[in-house]
Structure 1
Amino acid sequence: MLEIERKFLVLSSAYREKATSKERIVQGFLNTHPERTVRVRIKGDKGFLTVKGKSNTAGTSRFEWEKEIAVQEAEALLPFCEKGIIAKFRYEVAVGSHVFEVDEFEGDNEGLVVAEIELSSETESFKKPDWLGKEVTGEVKYYNSQLGKNPYKSWKK
């Protein structure tokens, strides 16, 4: 139940050519306390309830528990979420022996494209594709739980 992940900005749309899947995600947060977040997500025709703990200092690992729930239950919970429902398209892209999840955000976060990779250890090496940009692991403003409160369109460029 430990999630180890790194997050990067994306430089181009070249990942789309290699994507093995594309799915729309709508999600909200029932709780965005710094010590824990509780997320409701609809991904395709499935619902999920996820609890995440506080990240370590580097932002690379944290506790994560996820349970699949009926999509109707997720739809019923979304109105109870804090302000700032997030919508995005997620592409899965195999690179070497890993899979990057590339999120293209919509709405108030349109223009933001972020890639995440889950690892088995914090020191695990992985191949970096040409479209991968600056690492933003641990930068709180890129957390989905914060994008609802402080959307990308409101950032000073």
Structure 2
Amino acid sequence: MIEIERKFLVTSNNFKNLAFKSTRIIQGFLNRDPERTVRIRLKDDIGVLTVKGKSSTNGLSRFEWEKEISKQDAESLFKLCEKGIIDKMRYEVKVESHIFEIDEFFGDNEGLIMAEVELQNENESFKNPDWLGEEVTGNIKYYNSQLSKQPYKTWQL
């Protein structure tokens, strides 16, 4: 269950007209240890418990395990989460054979829009849509676990 993905900043809202799906996501972290993170998500009305391992040196891959849980269980677990809840809308856009997941953040992370694309291997190529900006793969300040501690609005831009 190794996840391989690349992350990018998004330069415009042009992706919204191309999205085939959008989902509201609320997430909190039970554990933000650098060796492993444990998060709770509500994706619309579906709860998800996720455990992620430490990222590879280049930031492209890491272990990921997910389990669907009830909305009620997710809401109960939010009460145990560390400070800092992430609120975002996720848009899914198909670009050739890949699906980009674009997150538009709200609350303390408002103004940040990031895209990620999952790959089968670290050297896999993909088409860069015109709204894709700077690559931020491996930059931990863009990890959701970090955004919950040091939100985008607090950054010195």
Q: Give the superposed CA RMSD.
A: 0.4
Aligned to 1:134, the other structure's residue is in SS state strand
For the pair 1:37 / 2:74, whether they are aligned, the reply is no
Q: How far, CA to CA, are the matches of 2:21 and 2:75 in structure 1?
A: 23
Of all paired residues, the percent bearing the same amino acid is: 67
Residue 9 of structure 2 aligns with which residue? 9
Residue 52 of structure 2 aligns with which residue? 52
Q: Deviations over 1:3-55 (max 9, x none)?
A: 00000000000000100011100000000000000000000110000000000
Aligned to 1:24, the other structure's residue is in SS state strand
Structure 2 counterparts to residues 130-149 of structure 1, below 5 A:
130-149=130-149
Q: How far, CA to CA, are the matches of 1:36 and 1:59 in structure 2?
A: 14
Deviation at 1:79, TM superposition (A): 1.3
Q: How far, CA to CA, are the matches of 1:111 and 1:145 in structure 2?
A: 17
Structure 2 counterparts to residues 22-33 of structure 1, below 5 A:
22-33=22-33
Q: Deviations over 1:115-137 (max 9, x none)?
A: 00000000000000000000000
Q: Which structure 1 residue ranges, 5 or more long, are not aligned?
A: none
Residue 84 of structure 1 aligns with which residue? 84
Q: Which structure 2 residue ranges, 5 or more long, are not aligned?
A: none
- The amino acid of 2:74's aligned partner reads A
- What TM-score results when the alignment is normalised by the length of structure 1? 0.99
Residues paired across the two proteins, number = 157
Q: How far, CA to CA, are the matches of 1:114 and 1:79 in structure 2?
A: 27
- What TM-score results when the alignment is normalised by the length of structure 2? 0.99
User: Which runs of at least 4 in structure 1 moved beyond 3 Å after TM superposition?
Assistant: none
